[in-house]
A = this chain, B = another copy of it.
């Protein structure tokens, strides 16, 4: 089997590295990246066996993993589907699914495409961010399973199983709504926190001497790549706006509790929020840090 990974950043690079390393050469992994710098770096790091142009990949690979920003996926997919034969399979791993599924819904080769989203990542980006064990024990989502050929789904599952993931099935709008609340909102939260504290730093030079692990945790995602995340937000505006709006309402409630000196209410609110423990305890953290 020969896999072509298109886009050798954090996600594509980590998939390539894991398969190339753990398959011990039984699966061939080649890479495609329109950034020459990233392509060379991926080769240097040994993430892939070789770098090829897209046309060459189309001629030789059995499966394509598309791991470029979600707006680029949407533009690239029709071209890829135009170029494959009826045995080849294309799997995207983008963080939004509605627009992507919509964009190729009437393509004659639609059934060779599998819309996926492995739920894994770190705050780092580019080929240097590629790590082993990023996916192990985590969830993968496949959307519109019934619109893909059975053998295409089976081949995609082989890869996600190889990565150690559990696959679940959702429809694209359900996926995008859920992701707005449990992933995209978290990123906006970190970005806005970063601005808030950088503003204060203008007058209070010492403030960051005092930042500790709690701050590091809530601000961590503010290191995330602007190209990747602008594209994700652009492809999920309705649900993201809804999530930010709901979140602001809760923050305003906390501010009101403070402004009204309502400490009984504050205690009750914090106690209720503690209920999230049951969720957090079930989330597997990354085994390896970049």
Partner of A269, one of B182, B191, B204, B217: B191
A177–B196 CB distance below 8 A:
no
The answer, yes or no, to whether A195 is at the interface (CB within 8 Å) is yes
Number of copies: 2
B194–A218 CB distance below 8 A:
no
Residues facing B in A29-72 (CB within 8 A) are none
Partner of A220, one of B229, B275, B280: B280
Bound-state Cα–Cα, A251 to B119, Å: 25
Q: How large is the interface on A (under 10, 10 to 19, 20 to 34, 35 or more residues)?
A: 35 or more
Nearest residue, chain B, Cβ from A175: B210
Partner of A266, one of B121, B230, B263, B270: B230
The answer, yes or no, to whether A158 is at the interface (CB within 8 Å) is no
Contact string against B for A residues 141-183, beta-carbon threshold 8 Å, 1 for contact and 0 otherwise: 1000000000000000000000000001010001101110111
Contact string against B for A residues 243-268, beta-carbon threshold 8 Å, 1 for contact and 0 otherwise: 11111101111110011010100110
Q: Which of the candidate stretches A8-16, A17-25, A108-116, A233-241 sits at the interface with the other chain? A: A233-241
Bound-state Cα–Cα, A204 to B186, Å: 18
A215–B241 CB distance below 8 A:
no
Interface secondary structure of A, over-half rule: helix
With A207-B181, A276-B198 in contact, do A221 and B214 touch (Cβ < 8 Å)? yes
Complex A-B: 28 CB contacts under 8 Å: A121-B214, A139-B209, A174-B204, A181-B200, A183-B211, A186-B214, A186-B217, A188-B251, A193-B250, A194-B275, A200-B246, A212-B283, A217-B218, A217-B220, A218-B218, A218-B220, A218-B221, A222-B276, A229-B270, A230-B267, A230-B270, A233-B258, A233-B263, A240-B258, A241-B259, A245-B255, A248-B255, A251-B251
Seed contacts A122-B213, A185-B196; 4 additional CB < 8 Å A-B pairs: A192-B247, A213-B283, A229-B270, A241-B255
